[in-house]
């Protein structure tokens, strides 16, 4: 198995497993698919930093021209540090603190995606006190069923995100008269890992109606941020959701409104550009099943434990003999399971496996649970590689804590 010009087997002789490995070429080509699909619209691709916020990844995307969708001061700082200019940074999130708002205002970011009325008031007060005007888009919740996992659905009435689309006109009217506020657009994001495209169609149609009505009432809407959420094929479907169809919905509903379109993809840029490489520690034959016990665990990649997410898992060297295993990690939780009853090539202790589709929401969601060291991250370009995040050592791990004076 190769990542660009490098054999994983050879890489694993240099970098101890488990480690994340990303392909620069795959990231660039996924980004290019967005540029191509949205060509013809005045658009900006603001990569969702939360999917993978490594500086090297952000710098790769910055050089391709990407902006950034952020949800915290930390993400804004990461984006700026990687060379994404403030005028390409949007800031969403339901709990923006005063300090975060002031930081974003001081940097003069492109816009705030506002998620509630109290947040709008807070931004107004802070901007006014700093002698600034905050550009805002209100994130509307269109109440459409995203048909994805309940934990990553964001655009239904019961979800904490955005404000009900029916209440938006009144809030826009209010926003237009607030000090320190410049209404710039409308924002929508209905969820993540959407593999059916009709929910986007429905949401964009509702947003188009809203924008038309706001413009009719004299509110100057210049930007429509359509969020992210396009799903990827983790290996259990026959095909990937079609990005051209997705973009065609945006064009059909929103193209004639004279607005700049912002799109915030995360997973669909990074997801299939990365794998988690792991070594088999033990093959254990239990009473009822065979277990493949890896050196990677839920603390490295939590998606299977958290969402019962499917990730394709393959042996790095092709094996003709197939065996059905429960593929698990060493953490002391039954939920530390990557796959149950999965048939893959026969393995022995020391063999390498690759957990596919791990480039997004992998390393960023990792923890040190069970006092495990982090899986390092490696970026490949052609036949070169670079360790873009090191594995810390045990002394550093322990030194993160400090003792109170009374001990
Ligand atoms: C506001 C916002 N924008 C963009 C994204 C990126 O989503 P995805 O990685 O599914 O493209 C998310 C995550 O769901 C989000 O919350
Ligand atoms: N972390 C989630 C997606 C949440 C997207 C962020 N709004 C995942 O791994 O699929």
Question: Would you say how long the chain is, in residues?
Answer: 407
Span 12-25, average pLDDT: 98
82 CA to centre of ligand 2 in angstroms: 22
Binding residues: 229, 264-267, 303, 307, 333, 361
> How many other CB atoms are found less than 10 A from the CB of residue 296?
28
Ligand 1 geometric centre to CA of 390 (Å): 27
Binding residues for pyridoxal 5'-phosphate: 229, 264-267, 361
- Mean of the pLDDT values across residues 124-148? 95
Question: Mean pLDDT across the stretch 295-321?
Answer: 97
The structural domains of the chain, with segments of one domain joined by +, span: 38-265, 272-398
- 182/230 Cα distance (integer angstroms): 30
Longest Cα separation, the chain: 71
Residues marked active site are found at: 332
- The CA 14 to ligand 2 mean position distance, Å, reads 31
Query: What CATH class is the domain 272-398?
Result: mainly beta
Residues of the binding site for substrate = 267, 303, 307, 333, 361
**Bridge partners, residue 181, by sequence:** 134
- Does pLDDT of 152 surpass 80? no
pLDDT category of residue 18 using cuts at 50, 70 and 90: very high
Identify which ligand lies nearest to the alpha carbon of 152: 2
User: What was the pLDDT predicted at 229?
Assistant: 97
**Mean per-residue pLDDT, 4-22:** 98
Decide: 50 in ligand 2 pocket, CB within 6 A. Answer: yes
Whether 34 and 243 have beta carbons less than 8 Å apart is answered as yes
Closest ligand to C-alpha of residue 146 is 1
Please report the pLDDT score of residue 191 as a whole number: 94
Q: Which residue has the higher pLDDT, 109 or 156?
A: 109
Is 152 near ligand 2, meaning CB less than 6 Å away?
Answer: yes
DSSP letters spanning 277-307: EEEEEEEEE-SS-EEEEES--TTT--HHHHH
Residue 193 near ligand 2, beta carbon < 6 Å: yes
pLDDT bin (cut points 50, 70, 90) of residue 180 is very high
Q: Which of 361, 362, 364 to mutate to test the pocket of ligand 2 (most atoms within 8 A of CB)?
A: 361
Residue range 162-177: average pLDDT? 95
Task: Report pLDDT for 1.
Answer: 95
Among 26-30, 86-90, 143-147, 369-373, name the one with the lowest average pLDDT: 143-147
Q: Find out whether 362 and 50 touch, Cβ atoms under 8 Å.
A: no
* pTM score: 0.97
Our answer on whether the CB atom of 303 is closer than 6 Å to any ligand 2 atom is yes
For domain 38-265, the CATH class is: alpha beta
Ligand 1 pocket test: which of 154, 192, 303, 362 has the largest number of ligand atoms within 8 Å of its C-beta? 192
pLDDT at 304 over 80: yes
pLDDT over 90 at 393, yes or no? yes
Tell me the CA end-to-end span of the chain in Å, nearest whole number: 52
- The whole-number pLDDT of residue 185 equals 97
Write the pLDDT tens digit of every residue in 342-364: 999 999 999 999 999 999 999 99
> b/e string for 33-64 if b means 16 or more Cβ within 10 A?
bbeebbeebebbbbbbbbbbbbebbbbbbbeb
Distance (Å, rounded) from C-alpha 376 to C-alpha 369?
16
Q: Band the pLDDT of 147: cuts 50, 70, 90.
A: confident
Instruction: Say whether pLDDT at 338 is over 80.
Output: yes
Class of residue 166 by CB neighbours under 10 A (exposed 0-12, middle 13-18, buried 19+) = middle
State which ligand 1 atom lies nearest to the alpha carbon of 229. 10
pLDDT confidence band for 155 (50 / 70 / 90): confident
Question: So what's the pLDDT on residue 148?
Answer: 80
Nearest CA to ligand 1 atom 13: 192
Long-range contacts of 279-288 (CB under 8 A, 24+ apart): 279/12, 279/17, 279/18, 279/350, 279/351, 279/352, 279/353, 280/347, 280/348, 280/349, 280/350, 280/351, 280/352, 280/353, 281/330, 281/349, 282/349, 283/325, 283/347, 283/348, 283/349
| Helices 98-107, 73-81: inter-axial angle, 10-degree rounding | 30
**3-class state of residue 107 by DSSP:** helix
**CA of residue 27 to ligand 2 center, whole Å:** 18
Summarised one tens digit per residue, pLDDT across range 229-251 is 999 999 987 788 999 999 999 99
- Give the containing element (helix H, strand E) for 199: helix 198-216
Distance 190 CA to ligand 1 centre (A): 9
What is the rounded average pLDDT for all residues in the chain? 96
pLDDT score of 346: 97
361 pocket-lining for ligand 2 (C-beta < 6 Å): yes
Pocket around ligand 1: residues whose beta carbon is below 6 Å from it? 48, 51, 69, 92, 189, 192-193, 227-230, 264-268
- Ligand 2 center to residue 131 CA distance, Å? 36
Q: What proportion of the chain, given as a percentage, has pLDDT over 90?
A: 93
ipTM score of complex: 0.98
Atom 2 in ligand 2: which residue has the minimum CA distance? 361
By percentage, how much of the chain surpasses pLDDT 70? 100
Overall average pLDDT of the 172-193 stretch: 97
pLDDT band at 156 (very low <50, low <70, confident <90, very high): confident
CA-nearest residue for atom 4, ligand 2, is 152
């Amino acid at each position: 198995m190769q990542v660009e010009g490098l054999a994983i087997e050879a890489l694993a002789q240099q970098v101890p497993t488990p480690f994340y490995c990303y392909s620069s070429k795959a990231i660039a080509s996924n980004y290019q698919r967005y540029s191509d699909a949205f060509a013809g619209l005045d658009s900006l691709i603001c990569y969702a930093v939360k999917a993978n916020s490594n500086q090297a990844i952000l710098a790769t995307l910055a050089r391709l021209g990407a902006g950034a969708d952020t949800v915290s001061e930390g993400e804004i700082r990461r984006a700026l540090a990687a060379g994404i200019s403030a005028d390409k940074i949007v800031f969403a999130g339901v709990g923006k603190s005063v300090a975060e708002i002031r930081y974003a205002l001081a940097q003069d970011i492109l816009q705030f995606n506002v998620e509630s009325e109290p947040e709008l008031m807070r931004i107004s007060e802070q901007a006014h006190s700093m002698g600034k005007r905050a550009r805002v888009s209100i994130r509307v919740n269109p109440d459409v069923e995203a048909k994805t996992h309940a934990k990553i659905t964001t655009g239904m009435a019961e979800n904490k995100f955005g404000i009900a689309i029916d209440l938006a006109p009144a809030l826009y009217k209010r926003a237009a008269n607030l000090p320190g506020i410049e209404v710039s657009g409308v924002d929508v994001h209905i969820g993540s890992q959407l593999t059916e495209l009709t929910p986007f169609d429905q949401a964009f149609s509702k947003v188009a109606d809203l924008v038309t009505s706001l413009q009719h009432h004299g509110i100057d809407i210049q930007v429509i941020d359509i969020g992210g959420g396009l799903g990827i094929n983790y290996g259990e479907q026959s095909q990937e959701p079609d990005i051209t169809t997705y973009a065609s919905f945006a064009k059909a509903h929103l193209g004639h409104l004279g607005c700049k379109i912002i799109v915030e993809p995360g997973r669909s840029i990074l997801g299939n550009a990365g794998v988690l490489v792991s070594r088999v520690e033990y093959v254990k034959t239990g009473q009822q099943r065979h277990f493949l016990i890896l050196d990677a665990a839920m603390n490295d990649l939590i998606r299977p434990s958290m969402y019962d997410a499917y990730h394709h898992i393959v042996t790095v060297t092709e094996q003709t003999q197939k065996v059905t295993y429960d593929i698990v990690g060493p953490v002391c939780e039954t939920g530390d399971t990557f796959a149950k009853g999965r048939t893959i090539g026969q393995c022995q202790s020391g063999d390498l496996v690759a957990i596919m589709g791990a480039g997004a929401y992998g390393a960023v969601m990792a923890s040190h649970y069970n006092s495990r060291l982090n899986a390092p991250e490696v970026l490949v370009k052609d036949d070169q590689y670079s360790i873009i995040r090191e594995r810390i050592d045990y002394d550093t791990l322990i030194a993160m804590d400090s003792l109170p004076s009374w001990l």
